[in-house]
């Protein structure tokens, strides 16, 4: 009788096809009203002798059925997993789907190049606000209120509330105000560059209302124009990857004395400019020895310290190095242009990796 039950359930469990039928079998055999459970309840009506034999046998049967259920459950789960693994097989050797890759903008690329070269020469990178106090943008740089340079720079002025008569803030017209901020912050000696955005109300093939400059400033006890010339020639040669001569022309900036505009050597052939060869010249930056009044505005004693400064257009450098004819295209966000002139994002410019 007990053997019949045993054979019946073990056979049914062995051939169960899924978890649901296993659960039905569990209920039918060892559930509250299952066959085995009912038999166990019948133990009470047996004689002690009968019970001594039937009790352990029923317990053993219950255990055996429970173990069979558990084992079958695991086996079914394993089978299901194997089936899934076989079905959802993935060839990891296949090439991935191509994804459009962005590119690095020439201005970003050139900013990194310029920074890499000048950082190697000991210049730290400094930053300042693009919305600038007019004192930093002008007065501290020895450009007083009625100086013509203020109007020449086509300044964008910020709005002041009605009745507020303080001078308005400006969008910085050059990176030179960062000279003052750096002097105030760090004092002398000092060696910094400041790359960043500047703004002027101007628009044609070589001018956009927003463009980029890099400022350089070196202050120490015995700095001269000779140091400036060496730094710039080193810089241009590293940047253009060929030895580049410079020509200094006397000029005037309120914040330097003496002041010089610097040209680099180039050739003009067939409408294209080649830097570092020929006997033509191209103006690329303004520079000079920092004016004593500017040192004072920065909190540095001009009797003790002196220095050189320069300011250069980054976009201009990018146009020259990478042969971009029109500045306006830099900021048009034309994808075809960006793909053509952009740089691979993994090609980070470094001195040792090549610029």
Site for ligand DAH, rule CB under 6 A: 174, 176, 215, 253, 255-256, 286-288, 309-311
132, 169 contact by CB (below 8 A): yes
Give me the least distance between CB of 230 and ligand DAH, in Å please: 16
Both tokens of residue 349?
């410019």
Non-local CB neighbours of 236 within 8 Å, separated by 6+ positions: 244, 246, 264, 275, 276
3-class DSSP state of 187: coil
Q: Which is nearer to ligand DAH, 128 or 349 (CB)?
A: 128
Q: Which of 172, 145, 171, 148 is nearest to 159 (CA)?
A: 171
Q: Which of 18, 9, 10, 13 is nearest to 77 (CA)?
A: 18
DSSP assignment of 236-304 equals HHHHHTS---EEEEEEEETTEEEEEEEEEEEEEETTEEEETSSSEEEEEEEEEEEPHHHHHHTT--TTT
Instruction: Give CA 128 to chain center in angstroms.
Output: 20
Cβ burial 128-158 (10 Å sphere, 16+ → b, else e): beeebbbebbbbbbbbeeeeebbeebebbee
268, 282 contact by CB (below 8 A): no
Q: Which is nearer to ligand DAH, 34 or 216 (CB)?
A: 216
Q: Which is nearer to ligand DAH, 36 or 309 (CB)?
A: 309
Give me the least distance between CB of 338 and ligand DAH, in Å please: 27
Q: Which is nearer to ligand DAH, 311 or 349 (CB)?
A: 311
Give me the least distance between CB of 237 and ligand DAH, in Å please: 21
Q: Which is nearer to ligand DAH, 113 or 215 (CB)?
A: 215
Give me the least distance between CB of 253 and ligand DAH, in Å please: 4
For 113, 215, 265, 267, 287, the CA distances from 246, given in Å and listed in that order, are: 19, 18, 6, 13, 12
Q: Which is nearer to ligand DAH, 28 or 225 (CB)?
A: 225
Q: Which is nearer to ligand DAH, 239 or 255 (CB)?
A: 255
Give me the least distance between CB of 326 and ligand DAH, in Å please: 21
Give me the least distance between CB of 316 and ligand DAH, in Å please: 12
Give me the least distance between CB of 309 and ligand DAH, in Å please: 3
What's the angle, vertex CA 279, arms to CA 276 and CA 280, rounded to 5?
Answer: 85
Q: Which phi-psi region, left, alpha or beta, contains residue 325 (left: φ > 0; alpha: ψ -120 to 50)?
A: alpha
3-class DSSP state of 188: coil
Q: Which is nearer to ligand DAH, 255 or 341 (CB)?
A: 255
Give me the least distance between CB of 353 and ligand DAH, in Å please: 29
């Amino acid at each position: 009788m007990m053997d019949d039950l045993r054979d019946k359930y073990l056979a049914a469990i062995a051939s169960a096809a899924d978890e649901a039928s296993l659960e039905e079998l569990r209920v039918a055999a060892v559930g509250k009203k299952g066959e085995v459970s009912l038999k166990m309840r019948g133990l009470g009506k047996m004689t002690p002798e009968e019970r001594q034999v039937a009790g352990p046998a029923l317990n053993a049967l219950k255990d055996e059925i429970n173990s069979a259920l558990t084992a079958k459950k695991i086996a079914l789960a394993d089978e299901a997993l194997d089936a899934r693994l076989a079905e959802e097989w993935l060839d990891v050797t296949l090439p991935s789907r191509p994804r459009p890759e962005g590119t690095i903008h020439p201005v970003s690329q050139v900013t990194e190049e310029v920074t890499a070269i000048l950082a190697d020469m000991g210049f730290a990178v400094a930053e300042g606000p693009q919305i600038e106090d007019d004192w930093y943008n002008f007065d501290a740089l020895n450009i007083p209120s009625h100086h013509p340079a203020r109007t020449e720079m086509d300044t964008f002025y910020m709005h002041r509330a009605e009745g507020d008569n303080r001078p308005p803030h400006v969008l910085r017209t050059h990176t030179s105000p960062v000279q003052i901020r750096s002097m105030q912050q760090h004092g002398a000696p000092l060696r910094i560059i400041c790359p960043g955005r500047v703004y002027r109300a101007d628009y044609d093939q070589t001018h956009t209302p927003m463009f980029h400059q890099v400022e350089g400033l070196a202050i120490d006890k015995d700095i001269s124009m000779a140091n400036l010339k060496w730094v710039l020639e080193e810089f241009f040669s590293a940047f253009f990857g060929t030895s580049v001569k410079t020509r200094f022309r006397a000029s005037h900036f309120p914040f330097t004395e003496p002041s010089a505009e610097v040209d680099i050597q180039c050739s003009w052939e067939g409408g294209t400019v080649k830097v570092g060869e020929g006997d033509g010249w191209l103006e690329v930056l303004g520079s000079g020895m920092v004016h004593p009044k500017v040192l004072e505005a920065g909190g540095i004693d001009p009797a003790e310290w002196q220095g050189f400064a320069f300011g250069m257009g980054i976009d201009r450098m990018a146009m020259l190095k990478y042969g971009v004819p029109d500045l306006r295209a830099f900021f048009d966000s034309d994808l075809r242009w960006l793909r053509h002139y952009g740089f691979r994002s993994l090609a980070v410019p470094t001195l040792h990796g090549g610029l």
